[in-house]
Amino acid sequence: MTAYIIIALIFIVIVSIITLEYKNEKKYQEERQKRKEARKKVKPSTPKPAKQKPKKQDIKTKEPVEKKTPQVVKEPVKKKIKLPKANFPRFDHSRLLEMGLSDEEAKEYVKELIPQIETQIPLLEEALKEMDFHAMERLTHSLKGSSTTVGTGGVSDLLVEYNTYLKDGREPEVADAYLTHLKNYNKALEQQYS
C-alpha cells in the first residue's frame, strides 16, 4: 500500500514539474514576443548632418580655401562592468517536503539535479564562446525551472538571477562570471548532498 502512495506522490511531483515547466516556457515565449514587438516599434535615430560653415575664399583666385584642422583620435571609453557577487543562502529542499515527499525522496530529486546541471555547463561554455546569448538564456531557463521546482537558495537562486540577466544582458564578462558561480554552486550542492 505504501509503495502505491509513494508511486502516486512521485507521479504527482513529476506532473507538477512538467506543468510548471510548460507554464514557465509559455510565459518565457510571451515575454520574448513582447520584447521582440517592442524592439520593432522603436525606430533607430539617425544623426542630423552638421551645419557646414561657409568656406573662405582666396582673394586672388576666388576659389574656396579649406582650413586644415588637426584630427584628434578619441580612445574608446571602456565602461565599468559590475560583476555579479552571487551571495545566496545555502540550497534548501523544503519545497519538496511541503509537497509531501520524505526527506530521503527529496534528497534523491536534488541528486538528480546535480548531473543535469553538469551536462548543461559545457553547453553554456560553448554558447559563451560563440557569444550566443539566446542559447545561454534557453539553457539557463530550463535549469532554472528544474532547480526552482526542487528547492530554493544556492544554485536555484543563482540560476534565476543568471537567466534574468541573459534576457537583456550582453556582456561576456558578466555571463562568464555567472557561469563560474554556477560551477561553484553546483560543487557546493554536490558536497551538501553527498
Specify the pLDDT at position 22. 75
C-beta separation of 183 from 121 below 8 A: yes
Its pTM stands at: 0.62
- Percent of the chain residues topping a pLDDT of 70: 78
Which residues lie closer than 8 Å to 68 by C-beta, 6 or more apart?
A: none
Specify the pLDDT at position 125. 96
Pick the CATH number of 101-194 from 3.40.980.10, 3.10.520.10, 3.40.50.970, 1.20.120.660: 1.20.120.660
C-alpha grid cell, residue 19:
506543468
Domain ranges of the chain: 101-194
Low-confidence winner among 25-29, 127-131, 148-152 (lowest mean pLDDT):
25-29
Closest among 124, 120, 136, 145 to 168, alpha carbons compared: 136
C-beta separation of 186 from 154 below 8 A: no
Q: Each residue of 59-85: pLDDT tens digit?
A: 555 555 555 566 666 666 667 888 999
Query: Quick check: 20 pLDDT over 80?
Result: no
Specify the pLDDT at position 58. 52
C-alpha separations of 16 from 12, 20, 99, 145, 153 in Å: 6, 6, 10, 11, 20
